[in-house]
A and B are shown apart, each in its own frame.
Chain A
Amino acid sequence: MSDQIVTLENATRSFPVFEGKRIYALRGIDLEVRRNEFLTLLGPSGCGKTTLLQAVSGFIDLEQGRILIEGKDITDVPPHRRPVNTVFQNYALFPHMSVGENTGYALEIAGTPVAERRKRVAEALEMVGLKDMENRRPRQLSGGQQQRVALARAIIARPKLLLLDEPLSALDKNLREAMRIELKTLQSELGISFVFVTHDQEEALTMSDRVAVLNAGQIQQIGTPRAVYDAPATTFVATFVGASNLFEGRREGERVVTPDGIAIRSRSPAANDAAVTALIRPEQFSLTAANDEPSLEIEVDQVVFVGSAFELLGRTAGGRKLTALIPASARGQVGAIEASRRATLYYDPASVHLIAPTEAAQ
């Protein structure tokens, strides 16, 4: 048994825009979804993540490339014959059916006997925390409950793969955060691979086994949430996932020197004189030096209290904007900074990640 549930090879799809121009939603995407993993497709709107999902569910045809499920080519198989189910963005519950009928729809279509269907509907509803709700109508439920029905309906036929198209975007913040954990738990209980589409990087980082960051129809990087956050492959990933301070410059020995004269020390390997971008996350800065660490002097424009931390917004001597996140425990030092409007930010050269330049995707 292979380790891949789904394999996409060179998946390409474009859409006409105007005057014969076409926009590429997918340009030669190669992607593997592993057995029993929670994979998130993360990207801004228009990056192709929903197109990719629809290509797997079968609602969009590819121009080039193919899709395999467990090694079988399903590129030309219509949606209703694919062993894949979807949780739609606005749930798409059938308004003329009860919760029970909605949940059992896939089984009804498959011709499962009524007794077994009833049992499995009850099980699926219990799994998503909607025990004994079979006879309600979808419109009698809250948004969060409708979401759960959509989930129960999609998992009842035990698909090989569950696709989730921004399912949490219509929920309010608290519910969304609770559902993240539930989804992850459900995924590991069921042992089904989930492919989750979102533009919310926090969602991607908290739930996923792996994250694929998409932009302009291409996969920028695919890896564990930590790898994507700590070692982004491109400047796009660095800015899209988390906050970042980027310093584009040239490598000179152990330093990256920017055109405006800032030198950032880094232990990451890069060829001398190569063009690179150094990345320092706001929380990597600290106000105190443990050893003999390098530092940056900034003029502080604003100090923002965000509860667990202070956000320092400032500028270097050359006018470059910087953000630093200082733990709230450093209250006293922050008070001094608010008075003097100046700060010295220390960083550990070992944690400075270097990004090699890529040809700009068009």
Chain B
Amino acid sequence: MSARSRHRLELGILLTPATLFLIAFFVVPLGIMVVMSFLMPGLYGGAEWEFYPHNFGRILGFADPMFEEFDPVYLAIFWRSVRIAALTVLCTFLVCYPAAFQVARLPDRWKNFCLFLIALPFFTSLIVRLFVWVLLLRQTGLINEVLLDLHLIDRPLDMIYTDGAIIVGMVYIYVPFMFLPIYASVEKLDWALVRASQDLGAGPIRTFLRVIFPLTLPGVIGGAIIVFIPALGNFVVPEVLGGAKVLMLGNLIEQQFLSARNWPFGSALAMLVMAAMLVALLIYVLTEGRRGSDPALSL
């Protein structure tokens, strides 16, 4: 057996568990979802074994006239989810970008401590952390009480169960996901390039726009992708901070599976979300490949 084929065999053995795991728990369920999304919903839940493209039709405009009508509410929810996810990305970026520069400038000991602090929220339950925001934001919550006591307001502000509350919760959850990739690219930034830019006549703003930002952009894009994707599908935050209303795609899908028991329609919704994100990623990878700079996805 040549060294090369032995090497290949070793690699195969090492990768087998991961491959089997992914096939069993990722590829197969995904396949089931794809099939499910083209089946006719059963009358009492489940699915009839019959090809039925109108699950997608209900969302995109060619509903089955026998049972349902095209309802633009799904596209509206889709659009609203994209908007909230995009605002989450923007806000986490605004929080993390300057912070990454501050942390990168600290001595090594403090750097590691800051990174530890950023990872700290992962040690506590997401639901518990979100309910803290309920306590803060609700009508009789801490913020309203304090503002009332200070006589800055006459009656409690409506903060909870708004889009704003959802965005606050999302930003709170996703800040670490944005921070780490940005920090990685800021840490790598060669400050000699910044000095070179100044030396060649560029002031601080020009240097930022022409050198610092382009060189840290891969981290920003990486962070944006890994915040945007889960934010689009998140259903816990809208559930807790957005009230009982159907607000985002995540809730809608969750509802189709758990309350409405319309699995084919839920699968179709999930497929569309995935397709939209794949297209976005594809566009990014293709344009990035043409520009020939470091791919941001190599995090």
| Interface positions of A (Cβ within 8 A of B) | 57-59, 78-81, 84-86, 88, 90, 92-96, 105-106, 109-110, 137, 153-154, 157
Contacts and interface: CB of A to CB of B under 8 A. Distances in A.
B199 A85 contact: yes
Contacts of B211: 94
B93 to A, nearest CB: 19
Contacts of B215: 95-96
B206 to A, nearest CB: 6
Given A80-B202, A95-B215, A96-B215, A88 B292 contact: no
Most A CB contacts (10 A, CB to CB) among B192, B201, B293 go to: B201
Interface string B170-210: 00000000000000000000101101111111110011001
B230 interface: no
5 contacts: A59-B195, A79-B198, A92-B193, A109-B210, A157-B201
A23 B242 CA distance: 61
A110 B201 contact: yes
A293 to B, nearest CB: 54
A85 to B, nearest CB: 6
Given A79-B195, A88-B195, A109 B214 contact: no
A105 B202 CA distance: 9
Interface in B196-254: 196-203, 206-207, 210-211, 214-215
Contact of A79 (B190, B199, B206, B293): B199
A80 B193 contact: no
Given A109-B206, A137-B292, A94 B199 contact: no
Contact of B197 (A81, A84, A95, A105): A105
Contact of A80 (B192, B203, B214): B203
B198 A94 contact: no
A236 B41 CA distance: 92
Contacts of A93: 196
B210 to A, nearest CB: 8
B214 A92 contact: no
Given A92-B190, A96-B214, A96-B215, A80 B292 contact: no
Given A92-B192, A105-B210, 13 more contacts: A84-B199, A86-B199, A88-B192, A92-B195, A92-B196, A94-B196, A95-B293, A96-B215, A105-B197, A109-B201, A109-B202, A154-B199, A157-B201
Nearest to B203: A80
Would you list the 6 A-B pairs with minimal beta carbon distance, nearest first?
A: A92-B196, A92-B192, A106-B200, A79-B198, A109-B201, A109-B202
Contacts of A106: 200-201
Contacts of B202: 80, 105, 109
Given A95-B215, A109-B206, A137-B292, A80 B199 contact: yes
Contacts of A80: 198-203, 207
B188 to A, nearest CB: 11
Nearest to B211: A94
Contacts of B192: 88, 90, 92
Most B CB contacts (10 A, CB to CB) among A78, A93, A95, A153 go to: A95
A210 to B, nearest CB: 24
Given A94-B211, A96-B214, A96-B293, A109 B196 contact: no
Given A96-B215, A109-B206, A85 B193 contact: no
A90 B195 CA distance: 12
A135 to B, nearest CB: 11
Nearest to A98: B292
Contacts of A59: 195, 198-199
Contacts of A84: 199
Nearest to B291: A96
Given A92-B195, A96-B293, A85 B190 contact: no
Contacts of A105: 197, 200, 202, 210
Contacts of A110: 201
B201 A94 contact: no
Contacts of B196: 86, 88, 92-94
Contacts of B190: 92
A95 B198 CA distance: 16
B199 A57 contact: yes
A48 B199 CA distance: 20
Given A80-B203, A106-B200, A153-B200, A94 B195 contact: no
A96 B288 CA distance: 12
Most A CB contacts (10 A, CB to CB) among B202, B214, B215 go to: B202
Most B CB contacts (10 A, CB to CB) among A59, A78, A105 go to: A105
Contacts of A96: 214-215, 293
Contacts of B206: 109
Contacts of B200: 80, 85, 105-106, 109, 153-154, 157
Contacts of A95: 193, 215, 293
Nearest to B191: A92
A96 B195 CA distance: 16
A50 to B, nearest CB: 12
Contacts of B201: 80-81, 106, 109-110, 157
Contacts of B195: 59, 79, 86, 88, 92
Nearest to A101: B210
A86 B198 CA distance: 10
Interface string B151-175: 0000000000000000000000000
Nearest to B217: A96
A117 to B, nearest CB: 13
Contacts of A137: 292
A156 B211 CA distance: 19
Contacts of A94: 193, 196-197, 211
